[in-house]
Amino acid sequence: MYLIKQMSKIFSLFLVILFLFSACKIARKSQEKASLSTNRKPNVIIILADQWRAQATGYSGNPDVITPNLDKLAKQSIVFNTAVAVMPVCTPYRASLLTGQYPLTHGVFYNDKPLPNKALTMAEIFKDYGYSTGYIGKWHLNGHREGEDTYERRKFPVKKDRRQGFDYWKVAEVTHEYNNSFYFDEHDQKHTWKGYDAFPQADSAISYVRKNKNNPFLLVLSWGPPHDPYFSAPAAYRKMYDPSKIHLRPNIPKELTDTARIVYANYYAHCTALDEALGRLLDALDREGLTDNTILVFTSDHGDMLFTKGALKKQRPWDESILVPFLLRYPATLSKKERHINAPINTPDILPTLLGLCKLKIPASIEGEDFSGALIKEKKIEDKAALVMLPVPFHEWNFMKGGKEYRAVRTERYTYARDLRGPWLLYDNLSDPHQQVNLVNDPAYLQLQQQMEVLLKKKLNKTKDKFLPADEYMKQWNYRYDYTDSLRPADYYLSKKNN
């Protein structure tokens, strides 16, 4: 009996020692993980939607659109309420995002023109600091060669030397078929995203994150929706919206309200589907323990007029076209509390701000501003203005459809635009949030107009923009117009002569 009691004591002591050993081991692993999170360079994930306007999110106060994951993310992020697309159209925006440059510097100011190989891009910069790089989804930067059809060229793979430094590659140049759409891999092999493509694309992003979680990485997840076709979201999401209950902004012509409600319901269905795909990725970051040390950006390349002033799509200088959602979450450095910034951030500012947050050197080629210092110190950002431009109107807003060259500035409060003939638009977005009263040449606002003109000229001087007619830029870059984009209505030349 005595022997049994002694053996029991020894066994109990053994269990205590085993428990303490295990506890120490777990603590050590936890410390190693914390040290890794603290000392390792942060991961960077950019989630880029296409044509998702700033007004179409729950966190911004939209009463109709269902975006629970975005709303939750906003509560953990810095929310930029005035995020501006420097040129509100696909290819030029993407070129500015990757280079931190303005369109007349990198030369991509027209859809389907190629971003030059010599451009120093986001992926190339991060790779120099040991980052893995990946891109999933829509690219729209390869362009087409002279003599090739614009839309036919979009069906081909993007060759390795045209991927601008991205290695992991699951990409289509452009497709707006969002169900069972195609993509090409690193070896130019063609594949199909099964079902609604945003979901398997999110799964691919999750797989990439898991495989690269032990090394810093840069990943861009680029979705095609909610860009039209507006009616192609999965049925389950379309059923969530009743067009008759959609609230419309007052700047939509009354004769278009019935059609607008139907389009909005389907546009929002895309947004809600993307929101679910976003939620999957956010959950995966939590599971892998990567949330704190990952800089996550959610944004879009431009907005959509969606019948504002009777127009659809983009290129125009109104808020529905130029303002985009922009959330930036980086808990390790910026905490996990919601902060709102009203000062504008422009497309070229994104890359230098990310580099600043990662404590990486910002190359001299970058023209945008680094916001990271103000974000880290929680300083108020004041006296900023974002430049918006359209050097060459094209495609759905070409000259024959009313398009025109313009330059504009968007401040926290005001919008001012001029075309080649002179001042065109002036809005006080505080008193007139739907931009229904154009104050240009109103005697009561001439001083404000002059101040905005001076601000615009400063921006143009800083970016070496001479604000020339469209043909001059097309000649400088040896571009040809697509289809009938070069044609002008008769009064275009008459009005230029009279001015």
The yes-or-no answer on residue 140 being catalytic is: yes
Taking only Cα atoms into account, the Rg of the chain, rounded to an integer number of angstroms, comes to 25
Q: Is the pLDDT of residue 276 over 90?
A: yes
Query: What is the pLDDT at residue 117?
Result: 95
Residue 19 pLDDT grade (very low, low, confident, very high; cuts 50, 70, 90): low
Nearest 5°: the CA angle 302, 308, 313 is 35
User: Bigger pLDDT: 6 or 368?
Assistant: 368
Count CB atoms within 10 A of the CB of residue 383.
Answer: 8
Q: Could you give the domains of the chain?
A: 40-380 (3.40.720.10), 387-498 (3.30.1120.10)
For residue 272, with 0-12 CB atoms within 10 Å meaning exposed, 13-18 middle and 19 or more buried, which class applies? buried
Query: What is the pLDDT at residue 448?
Result: 98
Q: Is the pLDDT of residue 37 over 70?
A: no
Q: Is the pLDDT of residue 9 over 60?
A: no
| 93-110 per-position pLDDT tens digit | 999 999 999 999 999 999
**Tokens at residue 218, please?**
């840069």
**pLDDT over 70, % of the chain:** 91
Q: Is the pLDDT of residue 255 over 50?
A: yes
Query: What is the pLDDT at residue 445?
Result: 98
Q: Please state, in angstroms and rounded to a whole number, the distance separating the CA atoms of residues 407 and 404.
A: 10
Q: Is the pLDDT of residue 383 over 90?
A: no
Residue 146 pLDDT grade (very low, low, confident, very high; cuts 50, 70, 90): confident
Q: Please state, in angstroms and rounded to a whole number, the distance separating the CA atoms of residues 70 and 471.
A: 42
Q: Is the pLDDT of residue 22 over 70?
A: no
Q: Which of 90, 106, 144, 395 is catalytic?
A: 90
Mean pLDDT of 331-354: 96
Mean pLDDT of 216-232: 98
Residue 378 pLDDT grade (very low, low, confident, very high; cuts 50, 70, 90): confident
Length of the chain counted residue by residue: 499
Do β-strands 323-324 and 326-329 pair in parallel, antiparallel, or remain unpaired? Answer: unpaired
Cβ atoms of residues 366 and 102 within 8 Å: no
Mean pLDDT score across all residues of the chain: 92
Q: Please state, in angstroms and rounded to a whole number, the distance separating the CA atoms of residues 100 and 109.
A: 14
Mean pLDDT of 226-237: 97
| 343-375 per-position pLDDT tens digit | 999 999 999 999 999 999 999 999 999 999 999
Cβ atoms of residues 340 and 79 within 8 Å: yes
Q: Which of 106, 140, 144, 395 is catalytic?
A: 140
Q: Please state, in angstroms and rounded to a whole number, the distance separating the CA atoms of residues 420 and 450.
A: 17
**Tokens at residue 432, please?**
């007139």
DSSP states of 61-74: T-SS---HHHHHHH
For residue 29, with 0-12 CB atoms within 10 Å meaning exposed, 13-18 middle and 19 or more buried, which class applies? exposed
Amino acid 360 reads: L
Query: What is the pLDDT at residue 492?
Result: 79
Contacts (Cβ under 8 Å, ≥6 apart) of 9: none
User: Bigger pLDDT: 28 or 146?
Assistant: 146
Evaluated on CA atoms 368, 373, 378, 379, the torsion sign reads negative
Extended strands (E) in 227-320: 294-300
Strands of 83-84's sheet, edge to edge?
A: 323-324, 83-84, 345-346
Q: Please state, in angstroms and rounded to a whole number, the distance separating the CA atoms of residues 357 and 361.
A: 10
Shortest CA distance to 106 belongs to which of 349, 366, 356, 353? 366
Query: What is the pLDDT at residue 29?
Result: 44
Query: What is the pLDDT at residue 411?
Result: 98
Q: Please state, in angstroms and rounded to a whole number, the distance separating the CA atoms of residues 98 and 101.
A: 8
Query: What is the pLDDT at residue 10?
Result: 55
Evaluated on CA atoms 273, 291, 285, 362, the torsion sign reads positive
Query: What is the pLDDT at residue 145?
Result: 74
Residue 2 pLDDT grade (very low, low, confident, very high; cuts 50, 70, 90): very low
292 DSSP assignment: T
Query: What is the pLDDT at residue 28?
Result: 47
Cβ atoms of residues 87 and 389 within 8 Å: yes
Cβ atoms of residues 67 and 47 within 8 Å: no
Query: What is the pLDDT at residue 35?
Result: 39
Mean pLDDT of 136-143: 96
Q: Is the pLDDT of residue 17 over 80?
A: no
The CA-based dihedral angle spanning residues 411, 365, 160, 130, taken in that order and rounded to the nearest 10 degrees: -100
| 416-474 per-position pLDDT tens digit | 999 999 999 999 999 999 999 999 999 999 999 999 999 999 999 999 999 999 999 99
pTM for this prediction: 0.91
Q: Which residue has the tokens 């991060």?
A: 126
Cβ atoms of residues 387 and 346 within 8 Å: yes
User: In the Cβ-directed half-sphere of 463, how many Cα atoms lie within 13 Å?
Assistant: 27
Contacts (Cβ under 8 Å, ≥6 apart) of 383: none
